Structure 1
Amino acid sequence: MTDTVTPSDLKARHRAMWASGDYPAVAEVVRPLGEDLVAACGVRTGQRVLDVGAGTGTAAIAAAAAGADVVASDLTPELLDVGRRAAAERGVELSWKQADAEMLPYDDASFDVVLSSIGVMFAPHHQDAADELVRVVRPGGTVGLASWTPTGFIGQMFATMKPFAPAPPPGAQPPPLWGDEDHVRALLGDRVRDVRTAVRTLPVTAFADGEAFREFFASRYGPTIAVRRALADQPERLAGLDAALRDLGDRSLDADGAMGWEYLQLVATRA
């Protein structure tokens, strides 16, 4: 019998997944992506900005520091709580709102800039999320995205985990597809113009070897934690997953002990 997953069940699972482990520690590693995206979008004083899938607010806080009126939205309130504290420590003010990227609680054309740094890519229904991004930005406004590519390191990590993971619910799409330019262009369609893209690489020097990478993600990163929990009563398969992740980490370190995490940065204007 096929396990039926309702939309509310799926959202609850996603909230629990991202609240597990220690995602704020992961966010610190990838903080430059959000800061670079804010710069690429030309965020400035007086603009109204929405960060979708904001997590702990790496992009949202940078946008607020640039002088914008910012709303950071995310499905997982625990991450927003971390972001509130980080913003207070930095001395910037912005709004924090629990919200579903596939059903944003904002009026049409409410924002000058709508952006997402490795956030909206994890909404399971890509077209629904893309439609919302476009809907809430004003004509002439900016849509900015930073997403892991399918062929880059994080995309390879998801591919490595896939054979060990439970089957996704019907209709759910793989997150790294948002790092494929053709896929994102198709999602946004002719509702945007002046699309500017760049495939960039985040240098990561946080891991001495593949085992250090495996241990970090196994204990801190929600998607990896969820797959490992599903294998709790299958020790041989769990060991196989750990070995595969360890090998990926070792293969991805260069001679100087650095990894390159590839991502797609896309900035477009709402038509």
Structure 2
Amino acid sequence: MGDYKSRGQYFPPVSAQLVNLVQLKPKEMVLDVACGYGNTAITACRKGAKVTGIDLTPKLLMLAREEEKIAGLSSINWKEGDVENLPFEDETFDIVLSTFGHIFASNQSLAAKEMVRVLKKGGRLGFSSWPSELLSERLSDVISKYNPFGETKEFKPGSWGSPDKIKRLLPELKELFFERGTIEIPCLSPNHYWNDSTHKAGYLMRIIGELKFQNKYDIIEKVRKEYLDALESYFLDNRLRFGYLLAIGKK
């Protein structure tokens, strides 16, 4: 799984920005989709919302419960489940959120329909995603290019970073608007980030591990060089700049 908490430690400001943009009010029913270790769910709960966090990975939910306890909270409903088949009745929530989570659903159209389905009439949907032209997706492209498992990608998470694609996926939403931001990650060099990623980023760890098993160290070196080339363009003053997109709409 990798060290998701370490990799996600720069997400809390995005969670706060998202919660503010959906104009969350105390006691509103909130669903955090693909909640990870709970950064957005906890942010919403601290604003007084009644929060449910759902994720496919039990280990992440366990970590989310620990984070909730550290925050001094105890009311969040943590639930195992899939964005493509949300275990809730129609129009259950006032707000549905996702911070870089739902974008990895294999069936994007179904994920979009499910998030809208569980949203009340007049409710707000808000999420963050990675634009396909910026750093996160460039790194994803490098990794996918040398994927030793031969997996075909019929979807790209970066599609959720395109306003035009979001409008097509979510035609039911009104008053849809977008806002951009940048996560800045301190590091001494692009190679420092590569080293950190190969020890903590689950998907990259899986790819590198398989290439080592196949004794394809030449391919690993190609991955490293292209990964570093992508990073170099976004490295300034000992910071890596990951641009993101926020989308907010009303049902």
TM-score bucket (shorter structure):
over 0.9
Q: Return 5+ residue gaps in structure 1 as ranges.
A: 1-19
For residue 57 of structure 2, what is the aligned residue in structure 1? 76
The answer on 1:219 being equivalent to 2:199 is yes
> Which of 189, 200, 203 does residue 181 from structure 2 map onto?
200
**TM-score, with length taken from structure 2:** 0.94
Which amino acid is the alignment partner of residue 62 of structure 2? D
> Which of 150, 175, 184 does residue 166 from structure 2 map onto?
184
For residue 142 of structure 1, what is the aligned residue in structure 2? 124
For residue 258 of structure 1, what is the aligned residue in structure 2? 239
CA shift for structure 1 position 249 = 2.4
Partner secondary structure for residue 11 of structure 2: helix
For residue 96 of structure 1, what is the aligned residue in structure 2? 78
**TM-score, with length taken from structure 1:** 0.88
Which amino acid is the alignment partner of residue 238 of structure 1? I
Looking at structure 1, the residues matched to 34 and 159 of structure 2 have their Cα atoms a distance apart, in angstroms, of: 16
For residue 3 of structure 1, what is the aligned residue in structure 2? none
The answer on 1:168 being equivalent to 2:151 is yes
CA shift for structure 1 position 153 = 1.2
Looking at structure 2, the residues matched to 43 and 26 of structure 1 have their Cα atoms a distance apart, in angstroms, of: 26
Looking at structure 2, the residues matched to 34 and 221 of structure 1 have their Cα atoms a distance apart, in angstroms, of: 20
Identity %: 26
Which amino acid is the alignment partner of residue 72 of structure 1? G
For residue 5 of structure 1, what is the aligned residue in structure 2? none
The answer on 1:269 being equivalent to 2:250 is yes
Q: Is the 8 A contact 1:113 1:137 kept in 2?
A: yes
Partner secondary structure for residue 174 of structure 2: strand
> Which of 178, 195, 209 does residue 229 from structure 1 map onto?
209
Which amino acid is the alignment partner of residue 55 of structure 2? D
Looking at structure 2, the residues matched to 32 and 167 of structure 1 have their Cα atoms a distance apart, in angstroms, of: 36
Which amino acid is the alignment partner of residue 197 of structure 2? F
Structure 1 residue ranges (4+ consecutive) displaced by more than 6 angstroms after TM superposition: none
Once the two structures are superposed, residues 212-248 of structure 1 have per-residue CA deviations (whole angstroms, 9 ceiling, x without a partner) of 1101111111221222233221111012112222232
For residue 66 of structure 2, what is the aligned residue in structure 1? 85
CA shift for structure 1 position 169 = 4.2
> Which of 45, 48, 62 does residue 26 from structure 2 map onto?
45
Looking at structure 2, the residues matched to 46 and 94 of structure 1 have their Cα atoms a distance apart, in angstroms, of: 12
Once the two structures are superposed, residues 133-183 of structure 1 have per-residue CA deviations (whole angstroms, 9 ceiling, x without a partner) of 10000110000010011111111111221211144347x301111111111
The answer on 1:154 being equivalent to 2:136 is yes
Q: Return 5+ residue gaps in structure 2 as ranges.
A: none
Q: Is the 8 A contact 1:210 1:248 kept in 2?
A: no
Q: Is the 8 A contact 1:35 1:58 kept in 2?
A: no
CA shift for structure 1 position 86 = 0.7
CA shift for structure 1 position 30 = 2.2
Q: Is the 8 A contact 1:209 1:249 kept in 2?
A: no
Aligned residue pairs total 247
For residue 10 of structure 1, what is the aligned residue in structure 2? none
More helix by share: 1
For residue 4 of structure 2, what is the aligned residue in structure 1? 23
Looking at structure 2, the residues matched to 187 and 226 of structure 1 have their Cα atoms a distance apart, in angstroms, of: 30
